[in-house]
Amino acid sequence: MAKLKYETARFESSYGTIEQLPEPTTPEVSFVGRSNVGKSSLLNKLIGRKSLAKVSSQPGKTANINFFDVDGVRFVDLPGYGFAKVSRAEKQRWADLIGGYFDSKRSFNLVVSLVDIRHDAQQLDRDMLGFLVESELPFVVALTKADKLSRSKQNQQRASLARQFGLDPQQMLVTSSETGQGIAELRSLIEDACL
């Protein structure tokens, strides 16, 4: 099976409006999730770099759509939704960006939807997953921050969240950007979807 060379990852570009987005010429893997779910940390762990994606203790730092080139596959980091302390107009711009991205004709090879494993299903996550199911987009749920829970608690939460979201637990991957848990599996899913 083909493998991606993650060490070749580079930041490509950042866009603040849908009109600016580049033509989809390569496979794309999109990353979506709440503002404080640890998207940048997971991206960095996935590509084995400390700070390619900007990590902040202030949720909502990703205000644009950021494109990374990973060995010919585009990783697309979408703005976080929900939590950030920003103006209503800025939140609307983010919502328009995310919606516009998914409405455009692109090669959605895989959407990685990040959900914090420590919390019950949030309405915004339900909405996003409902949209992905309805749109028939291929996706996996990456349950983040698993290092904060014991293994047995992780399994309980995974089963509980699967029930709450109405998903098969097999569609959910327990991950940690601290320990690397689930990263090899996520890489395999990305490679299966893109190569």
- Taking the C-alpha atoms of residue 53 and residue 19, their distance in angstroms, rounded to an integer, is 23
Query: Structure pTM?
Result: 0.91
pLDDT of residue 1: 62
The segments of the chain whose pLDDT lies below 70 read 1, 54-62, 83-87, 90-91, 93-94
Q: With respect to residue 163, please indicate whether it lies within any of the assigned structural domains.
A: yes
pLDDT of residue 96: 77
Residue ranges making up the domain that contains 94? 6-194
Helix (H/G/I), strand (E/B), else coil: 20: helix
Do 101 and 65 touch, CB atoms closer than 8 A?
A: yes
152-155, long-range: CB < 8 A, 24+ apart:
154/117
Instruction: State the burial class of residue 65 (Cβ atoms within 10 Å of its Cβ: 0-12, 13-18, 19+).
Output: buried
Q: With respect to residue 136, please indicate whether it lies within any of the assigned structural domains.
A: yes
Rounded to 5°, angle at Cα 15 from 9 and 18: 125
Closest CA to 68 of 8, 129, 130: 8
User: For the CA atoms of the chain, what is the radius of gyration?
Assistant: 16
CATH number where 152 lies: 3.40.50.300
Q: With respect to residue 48, please indicate whether it lies within any of the assigned structural domains.
A: yes
pLDDT of residue 67: 92
Q: With respect to residue 1, please indicate whether it lies within any of the assigned structural domains.
A: no
pLDDT of residue 2: 74
Which residue in the block uniquely carries the two structure tokens 């390569």? 26
Q: With respect to residue 31, please indicate whether it lies within any of the assigned structural domains.
A: yes
Q: With respect to residue 140, please indicate whether it lies within any of the assigned structural domains.
A: yes
Total count of domains within the chain: 1
The encoded tokens of residue 21 equal 């987005």
Q: With respect to residue 51, please indicate whether it lies within any of the assigned structural domains.
A: yes
**130-182, pLDDT tens digit by residue?**
989 999 999 999 999 999 999 999 999 999 999 999 999 999 999 999 999 99
